């Protein structure tokens, strides 16, 4: 899951002032809801922004409360459809209302449906549980693991002063989401989850099946998914798929004839001696030297595989690194990894995985799960070590069992996804009586591909996954792997 999130979220800003209130937002059914009009500066659209107060611990309703940050993007149509879309962000740790408004405010989805975005508790502006050591804009973080025990131990006391960390898991977030639904007066809703958001969608569907008209799950993390046990194998499979694709492409094969051997030799060199790499500072533009170890390289590669533009550049970056020029790889890793660290509230990530995933990982299975992978076992063992010092919440008995509800569900997987590959989408779909799983050429998150998007829109119109015409998917192709210009003429036309 981490970084299972929408890193393409556009920046946004609001100017708040009084305007006429859309009728849908006047239906206040819950105490503690405070909404006001706000202007999305880039688009000029008038949205509804505000908070809903919910108890941090529902067993103590008179105790501390959390102000859930939320945004409603009103539909443009004079008579909107009755099924609003609740958009669920990834991570865990990304805030939907804080991070995704810029991406969605102009989306065709908003033509005839209201779109609701909620910063899940612990993310965005909903009492965010951030764990930071230095700035993501400072390249020195590159050689610090995401699951740095020292950083989490240092952040823990301050977080515990303002949060009961046992109250920040997915089942509680689903209760928050239903409180928002009630407050806005929505009888039935559509769910659209990406990455970790698919888990929140599944948990909500299991708890409130009668409230969900339809669900779209893009990059599926089912309840049987155990974060981060599967990360190394999934990333290795995605890399090997990329290697095989390169071998089958005459231009790529000619440009990088010994790509796999070069990669193995590069890992061995970095294992023996980390490299000092001079790069351009992403903020100041000044030259700066960073350290690139084997683990640094592996972590950077894994994140690059998530997204189509960087995935298509990986063979070229590996080839140049193997020849001794690590700078392009490291600068790409800084951009993609920096976006990840800025987006995620890592304390919330630990609250979720520490309660829901880590207790289901047997240390005796780690070796087999990670053997022969470029990522290895470090991430799993680091996260378990952090989990050992982190407060743990309770989950319902049978939490990890697959969700089996009658909600019409469209599940989407990318062929090259290095974190939630198609096998997880298939596993979730097999348990859903009205689920349909589509596997599409792509990486982590494929719903933005035009052909896929049109299918998703038809599904939301009909709430019938079985009767969808998916013939257009046969024409979907990933962009070609990037090669130097002198090899382009070898491509099959």
Residues 189, 190, 194: CA angle, nearest 5 degrees: 135
The answer to whether the predicted template modeling score (pTM) of the entire model surpasses 0.85 is: yes
pLDDT of residue 492: 65
- Residue 413 and residue 409: Cα distance in Å, rounded? 13
- The answer to whether the beta carbons of residues 121 and 79 sit under 8 Å apart is no
String of DSSP letters for 127-179: S-----SS-TTSGGGGGS-SS-HHHHHHHHHHHHHH--GGG-SHHHHHHHHHH
Beta 409-414 vs 435-440: how paired, if at all?
Answer: parallel
* Nearest residue to 320 via CA among 491, 484, 479, 443: 484
DSSP run (H or E) holding 182: helix 170-184
* Nearest residue to 26 via CA among 186, 243, 241: 186
Nearby residues of 145 by Cβ (< 8 Å), 6 or more positions away? 295, 299, 378, 379, 382
Q: Output the six-digit token pair for 133.
A: 């050591």
- Residue 340 and residue 25: Cα distance in Å, rounded? 33
The ranges assigned to domains in the chain are: 14-227+398-475, 229-396
Tell me the per-residue pLDDT of 133-145, one tens digit each, with 9 for 90 and over.
766 667 878 888 9
- Residue 484 and residue 286: Cα distance in Å, rounded? 27
Preceding amide of 228 cis, omega within 30? yes
pLDDT of residue 220: 98
- Residue 39 and residue 19: Cα distance in Å, rounded? 10
CATH class for the domain made up of 14-227+398-475: alpha beta
Q: Output the six-digit token pair for 410.
A: 């469209």
Residues of the chain under the 70 pLDDT cut? 1-30, 134-137, 492-493
Q: Which residues, listed in sequence order, are joined to residue 91 by a DSSP beta bridge?
A: 4
Nearby residues of 166 by Cβ (< 8 Å), 6 or more positions away? 351, 355, 391, 392, 393, 394
Nearby residues of 208 by Cβ (< 8 Å), 6 or more positions away? 174, 178
Beta 435-440 vs 115-118: how paired, if at all?
Answer: unpaired
Tell me the per-residue pLDDT of 30-49, one tens digit each, with 9 for 90 and over.
578 999 999 999 888 999 99
Helices vs. strands in the chain: H and E counts, helices first: 16, 12
């Amino acid at each position: 899951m981490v970084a299972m999130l929408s890193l393409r979220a556009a920046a946004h800003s609001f100017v708040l002032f009084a305007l006429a209130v859309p009728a849908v937002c006047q239906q206040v059914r819950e105490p503690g809801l405070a909404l006001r009009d706000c202007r999305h500066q880039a688009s000029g659209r008038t949205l509804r922004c505000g908070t809903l107060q919910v108890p941090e611990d529902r067993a103590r309703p008179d105790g501390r409360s959390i102000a859930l940050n939320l945004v409603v993007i009103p539909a443009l149509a004079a008579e909107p459809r009755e099924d609003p879309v609740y958009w669920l962000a990834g991570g865990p740790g990304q805030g939907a209302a804080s991070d995704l408004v810029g991406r969605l405010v102009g989306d065709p989805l908003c033509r005839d449906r209201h779109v609701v975005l909620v910063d899940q508790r612990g993310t965005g502006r909903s009492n965010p549980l951030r764990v930071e050591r230095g700035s993501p804009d400072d390249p020195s973080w590159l050689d610090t693991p995401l699951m740095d025990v020292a950083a989490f131990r240092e952040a823990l006391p301050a977080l515990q002063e303002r949060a009961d960390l046992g109250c920040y898991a997915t089942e509680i977030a689903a209760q928050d989401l239903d409180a928002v639904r009630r407050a806005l007066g929505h009888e039935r809703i559509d769910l659209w989850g990406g990455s970790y958001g698919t888990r929140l969608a599944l948990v909500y569907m299991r708890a409130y099946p009668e409230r969900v008209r339809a669900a779209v799950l893009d990059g599926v993390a089912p309840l049987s998914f155990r974060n981060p046990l599967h990360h190394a194998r999934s990333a290795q499979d995605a890399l090997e798929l990329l290697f095989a694709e390169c071998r089958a492409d005459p231009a790529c094969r000619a440009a990088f004839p010994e790509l796999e051997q070069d990669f193995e030799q590069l890992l061995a060199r970095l294992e023996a001696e980390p490299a000092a790499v001079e790069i351009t500072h992403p903020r100041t533009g000044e030259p700066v030297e960073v350290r690139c170890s084997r683990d640094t390289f592996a972590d950077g590669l894994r994140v690059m595989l998530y997204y189509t533009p960087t995935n298509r550049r990986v063979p070229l970056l590996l080839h140049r690194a193997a020849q001794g020029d690590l700078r392009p790889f490291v600068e790409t890793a800084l951009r993609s990894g920096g976006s990840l660290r800025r987006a995620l509230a890592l304390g919330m990530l630990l609250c979720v995985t520490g309660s829901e995933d880590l207790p289901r990982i047997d240390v005796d299975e780690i070796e087999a799960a990670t053997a022969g992978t470029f990522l290895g076992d470090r991430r799993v063992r680091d996260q378990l070590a952090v989990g050992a010092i982190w407060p743990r919440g309770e989950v319902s008995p049978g939490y990890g069992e697959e969700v089996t509800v009658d909600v019409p569900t469209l599940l989407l997987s990318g062929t090259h996804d290095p974190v939630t590959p198609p096998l997880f989408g298939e596993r979730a779909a097999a348990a859903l009586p009205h689920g349909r799983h589509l596997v599409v050429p792509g990486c982590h998150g494929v719903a933005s591909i035009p052909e896929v998007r049109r299918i998703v829109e038809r599904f939301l119109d009909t709430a019938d996954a079985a009767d969808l015409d998916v013939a257009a998917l046969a024409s979907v192709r990933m962009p070609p792997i990037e090669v130097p210009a002198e090899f382009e003429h070898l491509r099959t036309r």
